[in-house]
Amino acid sequence: MDDSGGVAVVDVPEPSIGPGEALVRMRASGICGSDLLDWYVRRKSGSVLGHEIAGEVAAVGAGVTAFRAGDRVVPHHHAPCLACGACAAGRYVHCDEWRASRLDPGGMAELVRVPAGNLSRDTRRVPDGLTDEEAMFMEPLATVVKAFRRGRFEKGQSILVVGLGPAGQLALRLARARGAARVAGADRVASRLSLGAGGSGADAVVDVDREGLAAGARRIAGGPGFDLVFVGPGKGAVVREAAESVAAGGTLLLFTMAPPGEAWSAPLHDLYFHEIAVVPSYSCGPDDTAEALALLTDGSVPVADLVSHRFALSEAPAAFARAREPEGSMKVVFRAG
């Protein structure tokens, strides 16, 4: 990633591993929506992107007994210490070690060094029944699992998912697996609306360009709104309309980061008397990755059809260009070899 937000293919030295670490050969690595936020990735200029990765262990360092060469694994790019106050409270993303940890040089590389903490505390072996691409969805699905937990979603509730990119499609499918009473989605991209109403199982979808988010949500909900409104875009205007779609006592879930300075003028009177909870959800922890992998393994949340395009690492500029065009694309994946 360069200063202008563009991507380039570069040669970097092969990572060397130390005690407790592993060298993983990438087999599948996805482009996340956060990788497409120019303001966010510009901060990472000069670094290797990628955190949705499945691979094969190429070598392990001294003292590693849980993994060996040839094992298929999904490492999480952040891992908590499991010993601090934040970890004890289950707030893993606020652990100092979680924030400092990272894959080296990043998931969009042929070879990736998995630090000792990441390897021992949040790297999982891929079950035989999962493909590399399916296993790669562990991290993105885990972020949705955490969001549902923070959003207090329960069986029999209704949900509106705003933004039907890969995370939004996962949210629709997880809601179905969790026994939602009503599942709805909203977007402006025709192919994403079609997938939401088809393979992802939404009862109804809203084309926001045709009828507007709030109006479409009221039509589908029949008046009272939704128990959980899962908002993908980190934009104040979208959040404002989404807030109008939450039922009394429900939750407005903010799933995606917003750029510095992005503001939302909240209707405090309505929030108070309708007892609307506003809850952000950032990334995920080891409990979420474990649950996500179980959901993938038992087929509760199918993901194979979410991969729309595959590229080699050498085709990175073309892959990012495709991912930036939402019509006709969903999860864009780098494959080894």
What pLDDT is attached to residue 97? Answer: 97
User: Is residue 79, in this structure, part of any structural domain at all?
Assistant: yes
Cα Rg of the chain (Å, integer): 20
Instruction: Report yes or no: 120 and 66 within 8 Å, Cβ to Cβ.
Output: yes
Residues in the chain: 337
Q: What CATH code is carried by the domain that includes residue 71?
A: 3.90.180.10
Residues 306 and 252 in one domain: no
Half-sphere exposure of 314 (CA within 13 A, CB side): 2
The answer to whether residue 3 sits within a structural domain is no
Verify that 198 and 314 share a domain, yes or no.
Answer: no
| Per-residue tokens: 99 | 């924030």
Residue 168, number of CB atoms within 10 A of its CB? 27
Which pLDDT belongs to residue 224? 85
Q: How many CA atoms lie within 13 A of 137 on its CB side?
A: 31
In Å, how far are 206, 236, 291 from 271, measured between CA atoms? 24, 16, 32
> Is 14 within the bounds of a domain?
no
pLDDT digits (tens, 9 = 90+) for 246-297: 999 999 999 999 999 999 988 899 999 999 999 999 999 999 999 999 999 9
Tokens of 326: 């939402």
- The verdict on 275 and 288 lying in the same domain is no
**Model confidence pLDDT, tens digit, residues 39-94:** 777 777 778 999 999 999 999 999 999 999 999 999 999 999 999 999 999 999 99
Residue 90 lies inside a defined structural domain of this protein:
yes
Please name the residue that has the structure tokens 């601090």.
84
pLDDT of res. 31: 97
Name the strand (E) or helix (H) holding 149: helix 138-150
> What pLDDT is attached to residue 222?
87
Dist. CA 140–CA 134, nearest whole Å: 11
Residues 274 and 291 occupy one common structural domain: no
Structure confidence by residue, pLDDT tens digits, 112-136: 999 999 999 999 999 999 999 999 9
Q: Please give the pLDDT value at position 3.
A: 54
Q: What is the mean pLDDT of residues 14-28?
A: 98
Same domain, 201 and 100: no
Cα 60 to Cα 65: distance, rounded to the nearest angstrom = 9
SS (H, E, C) 116-147: HHHHHHHEEECCCCCCHHHHHCHHHHHHHHHH
Residue range of the domain that includes 164: 152-280
Q: Is the pTM of this model over 0.85?
A: yes
8 Å CB contact between 252 and 227? no
Beta 22-30 vs 111-114: how paired, if at all?
antiparallel
pLDDT over 80 at 26, yes or no: yes
Give strand ranges (E) for 148-287.
Answer: 158-162, 182-187, 204-207, 226-231, 246-254, 277-280
Which residue's structure tokens are 């040669």?
11
Of 238, 265, 280, which residue is a domain's last? 280
Backbone angles phi and psi of 244, in degrees to 5 = -75, -10
Measure the CA–CA gap between 272 and 206, rounded to whole angstroms: 27
CATH number of the domain bearing residue 267: 3.40.50.720
8 A C-beta contact, residue 322 and residue 330? no
pLDDT digits (tens, 9 = 90+) for 175-215: 999 999 999 999 999 999 999 999 999 999 999 999 999 99
Closest CA to 206 of 195, 198, 196, 217: 217
